[in-house]
Chains A and B, each alone.
Chain A
Amino acid sequence: MSIRLKKLLRHNEFYIFVVILLLSFLIQSRSGQFYTPNNIVDIIAALIVPGLFAIGAFMVIVSGGIDISFPALASLSIYTTTRILVDIDYQGGILLPLVLTIIFGAVLGAVNGFLISRFKLQPLIVTLGVASMFRGFMQGVLKSVQIAVIPKGMSEFGTSSLFVAKNMETGLTSRMPTAIIILIITLVVVYFILNHTMYGRGLYAIGGNEISAERAGFNVKRIKFFLYVMVGIISSLAGLIRVSMMTQCHPTNMLGMEMMIIAGVVLGGVAITGGAGTLKGCMLGTILIIIVQNSLILMGIPTFWQGFFLGMLIIVGTGVSALQVKRLNSPKKGKGGDKYA
């Protein structure tokens, strides 16, 4: 076997890709509806918001932390933005909402960043608490209600499309939302940061071993702080897109998404202990989750099975990668272990 193939077989991304292919063939054979232009476009459109969330969750997990506050953060940030814009009767384009959500996202992300970097607290528990605070702030202090009519600039952005895909047989059409551009830009930027900057190296280094990273000269506190600020911004953007695409702001609509997103990231082979994982894997894992969610209906399985399948996916996905780590670390099988451990 060539080294290249061997390397490929070691990566989780490869297996997840195979699983996606098999699943899609299965759905195709059961319903004949998977490989149709409109279904593919539908899946990509459904990927935008979870994809953005997943990028944020992925960065945190690579650094060895975990963030479960991003849906609450996005909800609070976008609710505040929409509220302000509706109250001032804003008539302009998407630019101001974009700037506002980025600012709010950065500020809210900084709360997480400050607590986690300054006091060295456990990210899981901090973000659990912060998520609850954001939610309480939104519902208690801001007295959030559903905003049925959002500023025109936002809804126009959300409903505009790059192109329309049409299924020749059924005549069903699906639009490719313009918002996909934001996902692509974010992907490119994050890919560049992670793979071509010192900051990205630092993020992986902290995830691998925080003390070693500090000894090697990385400013761990600063890296962590800006990480959560960045994740705040990315999550906020996801919130903006979600609200724009739905053309109404439902404050609690996004809460509870965190489990699904983290599941997708981990399925893509990102080590939950930090330090390893690729953006490619993160996106593939998220796509798998989206396909499972979107396609149960196509396969004729009642939607109340969704939780069951999601749970099984998380357990099997994390189990496989955990067993791989265990095998690599066990001293008995030295052959490949020495090289890669």
Chain B
Amino acid sequence: MLSKITNRISTVIKNDIYITRLIALMLIWLVFMGFFRFEKFYTVINFQTMAAQFPEFGLMAFGIMLCMILGGIDLSVVGVANFAAIVGAITLKKIVGVDGEMLGIAIPIVFIVGIIIGAMAGAVNGFLISIINIPPILATLGTFELFTGIAIVLTKGKAISGIPFGFSEAITGRLFGLIPIQLLIFLAMALVITFLVTKTTYGKKLYLTGTNITAAKFSGVKTTKIIIKTYMISGISASLGGLIMLANYNSARAGYGTVYTLQCVLIVVLGGINPSGGKGKISGVILAIFVLQMLASGLNKIPEISSFYIPLIWGGVLVAVMVMNYFTENKKIKL
């Protein structure tokens, strides 16, 4: 019995080094926090706070993940998120009166508007990459500037505040007083993306295009369509992240969340997605999101480490993971 279990575990370890590594990292960190900051870390409120925080960037990371599986990258996610949040905020202010009437209709409308913005932004990215043939890095860098630019023009560079409280209350509320609504939105999107990638032909085509776009073309995959679709999903995911940001801060500004680009790339690489495309699993990315949030929240509980160290730690972890990946991949080739 015991040998069976260890056997099972060893096959898992052999099959997916990335996920094993993440679980190990998470366990080590949990034990570490248990020893040094038990009363502060292991509380319901802390876990609820964490669950309310990671959906923002987790949703953006999903977008980058899909594009990276495709062999590209989407650096515009933060721009799309802010753009959607600002348009959402403007819509909300237009519909809802001062006394908070019409809120029931306003929230779905805001989400629909946000998703349409995300889809359109993604379609622009996809068009530039697949039809005009601009390399993904540049196209999405350009659209990042463009969407942020439009967002700045819409707000004249200022933050939009004075948003009706109802929206923020509804999204940052907790189901049964326990589960944050943001988490539910995140999980819903995670399910949709998992379904798309693992159960549909779209998923198969996505991996094939990411592995070898020429081969995919010659096997009859309409690569242009796949690329546009993928960037659209990325845009939608990012716009949902933006709407959650809007609810969390109860304001919108073009400059919010600029650190998320790096953080999302870190998550995706940590989760075992190969930047050259065609490889990686969603479960790894979801796990990486959890790990990163736990690291960030845990570090917050240690006042000796100033928050200025966080970029150093993120960057260091990213580079270390890339170097580790180099060694694991090379071992595979030698075998």
Whether B153 contacts A308 by the Cβ 8 Å rule is yes
**Is A314 an interface position by the 8 A CB rule?**
yes
* Closest beta carbon of chain A to B85's beta carbon, Å: 16
With A126-B319, A305-B149: A136-B312 Cβ-Cβ less than 8 Å: yes
Whether B133 contacts A132 by the Cβ 8 Å rule is no
Whether A125 contacts B275 by the Cβ 8 Å rule is yes
Whether A322 contacts B265 by the Cβ 8 Å rule is no
With A139-B308, A315-B146: A124-B135 Cβ-Cβ less than 8 Å: no
Whether A315 contacts B318 by the Cβ 8 Å rule is no
**Is A323 an interface position by the 8 A CB rule?**
yes
Residue of B135, B142, B323 near A263 (CB, 8 A) is B142
Contact code string A127-146 (vs B, CB < 8 Å = 1, else 0): 01111111111011101000
Whether B146 contacts A311 by the Cβ 8 Å rule is yes
Report chain A residues within 8 Å CB of B313: 136
Whether B152 contacts A135 by the Cβ 8 Å rule is no
List CB contacts (< 8 Å) of A1-32 with chain B.
none
**Is A161 an interface position by the 8 A CB rule?**
no
A260 to B276: give the CA distance in the assembly, Å: 25
Whether B265 contacts A131 by the Cβ 8 Å rule is no
Whether A131 contacts B149 by the Cβ 8 Å rule is no
Report chain B residues within 8 Å CB of A319: 128, 132, 134
Report chain B residues within 8 Å CB of A259: 141, 144-145
Interface of chain B, helix or strand or loop or mixed? helix
List CB contacts (< 8 Å) of B139-187 with chain A.
139, 141-150, 152-153, 156-157
Interface centre among B128, B137, B138, B139 (most CB of A within 10 A): B138
Whether A115 contacts B309 by the Cβ 8 Å rule is no
* Closest beta carbon of chain A to B66's beta carbon, Å: 17
**Is B266 an interface position by the 8 A CB rule?**
yes
Report chain A residues within 8 Å CB of B150: 308
Whether B153 contacts A311 by the Cβ 8 Å rule is no
With A119-B322, A307-B152: A133-B146 Cβ-Cβ less than 8 Å: no
* Closest beta carbon of chain B to A332's beta carbon, Å: 16
Whether B322 contacts A121 by the Cβ 8 Å rule is yes
Whether A132 contacts B314 by the Cβ 8 Å rule is yes
* Closest beta carbon of chain B to A274's beta carbon, Å: 10
**Is B73 an interface position by the 8 A CB rule?**
yes
Residue of A nearest to B310 (CB): A136
Residue of B145, B254, B310 near A314 (CB, 8 A) is B145
Report chain A residues within 8 Å CB of B312: 132-133, 135-137, 140-141
Report chain B residues within 8 Å CB of A133: 311-312, 315-316, 319
List CB contacts (< 8 Å) of B285-335 with chain A.
306, 308-316, 318-319, 322-323, 326
Residue of A nearest to B275 (CB): A122
A309 to B137: give the CA distance in the assembly, Å: 19
A322 to B134: give the CA distance in the assembly, Å: 5
Interface centre among A119, A122, A125 (most CB of B within 10 A): A125
Whether B275 contacts A315 by the Cβ 8 Å rule is no
Contact code string A301-327 (vs B, CB < 8 Å = 1, else 0): 010111111111011001100110110
Whether A272 contacts B135 by the Cβ 8 Å rule is yes
**Is A253 an interface position by the 8 A CB rule?**
no
**Is B262 an interface position by the 8 A CB rule?**
yes
Report chain A residues within 8 Å CB of B309: 136, 140-141
Please give 5 more A-B residue pairs, beta carbons under 8 A apart, in addition to A115-B319, A318-B142, A322-B133: A119-B322, A122-B322, A305-B149, A314-B142, A318-B134
Binding site for B on A (CB under 8 A): 66, 115, 119-122, 124-126, 128-137, 139-141, 143, 259, 262-263, 266, 272-273, 302, 304-312, 314-315, 318-319, 322-323, 325-326
Binding site for A on B (CB under 8 A): 73, 128, 132-135, 137-139, 141-150, 152-153, 156-157, 254, 262, 265-266, 269, 275-276, 306, 308-316, 318-319, 322-323, 326
Q: Write 14 A-B pairs (CB below 8 A) sorted by A numbering.
A: A121-B322, A124-B275, A125-B265, A128-B262, A130-B319, A132-B315, A133-B316, A135-B312, A136-B309, A141-B309, A141-B312, A305-B153, A314-B142, A319-B128
In the A-B complex, list the 10 residue pairs whose CB atoms are closest, starting with the nearest.
A136-B312, A311-B146, A307-B149, A308-B149, A132-B315, A314-B142, A311-B145, A133-B315, A136-B311, A129-B318
